[in-house]
Amino acid sequence: MKIKPLWEYTTEGMIRDLSFSSKDGDVAVASSDKSIYFISKEGNLLWKYKTSGQVSNVFLTPEYLSVSSEDGVLYFFDRSGNLKWRCQTKGKCEDVASTYNGDYSVGGSDDSYAYFIDKNGEILWKYKTGGWVRRVCISSNAETIACGSVDKNIYSFDKEGKRLWRYRTDSWLNSIITTSDGKYIVSGSNNGNIYFLRNDGTLLWKFNTASPVLRLVCSENAEYVAAGTENTAYFLNRDGKILWQHSIGNFDIMGLRMSKDGSVIGIGSGKNEVELISKNRETLWRYKTDSWVTSLDVSIYGRYVAAGLENGKILFFDNEKTIKDFISEMEGKIDVVAIKENLEQKKYGQTFHLINEIEKQMKKKKKNCPTCKKEMEEKWVACPFCGTKLE
C-alpha cells in the first residue's frame, strides 16, 4: 500500500496549528509567518489573512473560523475570509474556541484573562486568573466553558461569567478540552497528570504519564482519551484505565488527534513522521516527512489527515483515496469484497487493518532464490536467473 500526501502546500513559517472543517474537509492553518491560511481539500488556497503576530491557534466550525494571535487579537471570520470581528486583549493570545454555530467564542491571553465574546464581537465578560491563560474550551451549546491557567487552576464558568468552580492542580496546564455535550472536562499538566472531571468540578480520575502532557484529545462523549507527551502516546478509556501506550523514542509528540468515534488516532512528532494508529494500537500506516511534525488534525470520521511541519509545509492525506487506489490495483488478484464493504461504511481503521493483513500474507507467499537471492514466483520450480532448482 502506497502512502503519500494528496497534496502539499508550503507557507513561509512553521505551522503552529491546523483545524479541519467537519463540513467538507477544508483546512485552516496557523503559521509563524503571521498568516492564516484557508485551504480547500483539493489543495487550493481559498484565502489568506495577515496578522501582526505569529498565529498561535485556529478553531474551525462548519461556518466560522476563530483565531488567536500573538499580536494580542482574537479574530473571527466566516468561511469566505470576511473578518466578522476582532477583539484586542492586553497580551499575547494563545488559544481560542467557539461553539458549533459560532454564537460564542472563548479566548485565552497571557494578560491572565479569559475572554467570552458573542457573534457580534462584543466582550460579554472577562475573568482574571492568577496567570497566563494557556488553554480554553467550550461545549457546542456554551453550557460548559473552561480554561487552564499557569496559576495551576482549572476554571469553569457559565455564560453570564459566573465562576462555577475552580480545581487546583499541582502544575501549570498545557491542555484542556471538553466533550461536545459539555459533560466532561479533561486537562493535562506540565508534570504529566491527566485530570478527568465532571462538569460540576468533581474529579473522576487522575492519571500520571511521568512527563509533560503536550497534547490531549478525546472521542465523542470521552469514551476514549489520548495524551501525547515528550516521548509516548497514551490511550485510556472513560474510566481512566490505560488501554495502551505507544513509545516513539526521544521525540516530543507535537500533533495528536483522533476521529469522532476514537477508531483512528493520528500522531505527529519530532521523529519526522506521521503515524495513523487504530484504537487497538495497530499501526495502520506511517509516512516519513522532511521536518518535524508540529501540528496535526484528523477529520471527524477519519477520512482526512493533515500535518503541519516545522519547515512550513502542510501535508494532506486522503485515506479513502489511498484505499481506493489499493482496490484498483489489486482487484482481480485478491478478494477485495470485505475491504469495499468496510470502506462504504467509512470504517477506515478496519479497512486499513484488512489491507495490512492481506499484505502480510502476500509477503509470506513470496520466496527468494537461495543462490542469487532474487524474488521468485510461487509457481516456478527453478530460478530463471541462475538455474537453481527450487523446493
Chain segment 278-317, per-residue pLDDT in tens:
999 999 999 999 999 999 999 999 999 999 999 999 999 9
Query: Which of the four pLDDT bands, split at 50, 70 and 90, describes residue 51?
Result: very high
Q: Is the pLDDT of residue 181 over 80?
A: yes
Neighbours of 62 (CB within 10 A): 12
Q: Is the pLDDT of residue 108 over 70?
A: yes
What is the residue-averaged pLDDT of the chain?
A: 95
- pTM assigned to the model: 0.91
Residue 155, CA atoms < 13 Å, CB-side half-sphere: 29
Residue 321, CA atoms < 13 Å, CB-side half-sphere: 12
Q: What is the pLDDT of residue 84?
A: 98
d(CA 74, CA 87): 5
Q: What is the pLDDT of residue 313?
A: 98
Q: What is the pLDDT of residue 17?
A: 98
C-alpha cell at 7: 497534496
The distance between the two most distant Cα atoms of the chain, rounded to a whole number of Å, is 84
Neighbours of 130 (CB within 10 A): 13
Q: Is the pLDDT of residue 333 over 70?
A: yes
Cα radius of gyration rounded to whole Å, the chain: 23
d(CA 269, CA 286): 12
Contact present, 244 and 235 (Cβ < 8 Å) = yes
Mean pLDDT value across residues 143-158: 97
Query: Listing from the earlier edge strand, what are the strands of the sheet with 224-228?
Result: 215-218, 224-228, 232-237, 242-247
Q: Is the pLDDT of residue 375 over 90?
A: no
Neighbours of 306 (CB within 10 A): 31
Chain segment 306-332, per-residue pLDDT in tens:
999 999 999 999 999 999 999 999 999
Contact present, 259 and 298 (Cβ < 8 Å) = yes
Give the contacts of 82 (CB within 8 A, at least 6 positions apart): none
d(CA 389, CA 322): 39
Domains of the chain: 7-318 (2.130.10.10)
Chain segment 238-264, per-residue pLDDT in tens:
999 999 999 999 999 999 999 999 999
Contact present, 274 and 291 (Cβ < 8 Å) = no
Query: Which of the four pLDDT bands, split at 50, 70 and 90, describes residue 365?
Result: low
Neighbours of 125 (CB within 10 A): 15
Mean pLDDT value across residues 25-47: 97
Mean pLDDT value across residues 148-154: 97
Q: What 8-state DSSP symbol labels residue 24? A: T
Helix, strand, or coil (residue 240): coil
Q: What is the pLDDT of residue 378?
A: 73
Q: What is the pLDDT of residue 369?
A: 87
Chain segment 113-131, per-residue pLDDT in tens:
999 999 999 999 999 999 9
The DSSP bridge pattern shows strands 273-278 and 304-309 to be unpaired
Contact present, 137 and 177 (Cβ < 8 Å) = yes
Helix, strand, or coil (residue 165): strand
Q: What is the pLDDT of residue 379?
A: 77
Residue 272, CA atoms < 13 Å, CB-side half-sphere: 5
Q: Is the pLDDT of residue 352 over 90?
A: yes
d(CA 207, CA 76): 35
Q: What 8-state DSSP symbol labels residue 143? A: S
